Amino acid sequence: MKIGIIGSGSFALALSNILCENNHEVLLYSKNESTKEEINHFHTHKKYLGETTFNKNIKCSCQLESVVNYSSTILLCIPSIYIKDTLIEINQYIKGKVDIINGIKGLDFEDKLTIQQVIRKYIDFNKINSITSLLGPGFAKEIINHNLTLVCACSSSLEAAKKVQLLFSNDYFRVYTSLDVIGAELYSSLKNAIAIASGICLGLGYNENTKAALITRGLKEMREIGKLFNAKDDTFYGLTGMGDLILTCNSKNSRNFSCGYQIGLEDSSENFLKYNTTTVEGLNTIKLVKYIIDEYKLNLPILNSLYLVIYEGVKPSIVIKELMLRPLKDED
């Protein structure tokens, strides 16, 4: 099968590597000419993956129209902040119907939607055959190095989910299916915010007790939002919920965790927001979560405090003390 992949970052390359090893043909899209040349001639992307090499059959193009028309399956692996404009452009090039696979773990702040909802808004209905999200705990470099990884194909169509399951599954990458799209997309995004908080705690000098407490209470806040949107409990306890959270809260390989760690070290978000040049999906998620908290009058102290730290300039050290000195209560 021929698959066109929109994006040329680490996760796009990891998924491309799987597909090529599963005997599929892949064409990546990159806006960057030098990235295209590096992928095509050296089979590396040193900016994201260092000296790691990937399958030589992976090809890259800077022509979006060519990639879109390359196959009947399009895989999206770009930062969520670019999704709207990219979809509007893609929509112009689609001929016939396509299967769309979403590999983005984020939410759209502008439209207040999950990625599948954004896809349905900006791609004409008569051009979509199916939409499936491929989500779960998996660092790109580890996937390329064949570390055993479990993820989930999430779609409102079981047939579509199973199609993606078969497309990607092999002896080191196992794909489960789920029909709880809203839960999977919400939890996969919310965990990025909690991972920033975990990094902040480590940067401030706190250790394992603090991290365990944060992850546990952070899970509760994630579930409160999930329940609001009728997400299923099985999803909360599964790969796209608890599984993804555990991974991103415990490793500097996570951009969200590393973002939080830097903020914690400096006890301020100012420099990170000013000088950071990498995509940190949790930053955008925090803004949308704040909107949800205010709109539905939710009591989510960790997520609300993250907004204060990131976007209102409050020192993390002060926020943590205030969180610990809140009125005592039952664990609920």
Catalytic-labelled residue, pool 105, 163, 191, 290? 191
Q: 3-state SS of the chain? A: CEEEEEECCHHHHHHHHHHHHCCCEEEEECCCHHHHHHHHHHCECHHHHCCCECCCCCEEECCHHHHHCCCCEEEECCCHHHHHHHHHHHHHHCCCCEEEEECCCCEECCCCEEHHHHHHHHCCHHHEEEEEEEECCCCHHHHHCCCCEEEEEECCCHHHHHHHHHHHCCCCEEEEEECCHHHHHHHHHHHHHHHHHHHHHHHCCCCHHHHHHHHHHHHHHHHHHHHHCCCCHHHHCCHHHHHHHHHHCCCCCCHHHHHHHHHHHHCCCHHHHHHCCCCCHHHHHHHHHHHHHHHHCCCCHHHHHHHHHHHCCCCHHHHHHHHHCCCCCCCC
Structure tokens at 184: 């999977």
191 labelled catalytic: yes
Backbone angles phi, psi at 172, to 5 degrees: -125, -10
Alpha-carbon span 291 to 289, nearest angstrom:
5
Q: Which residues are catalytic?
A: 191
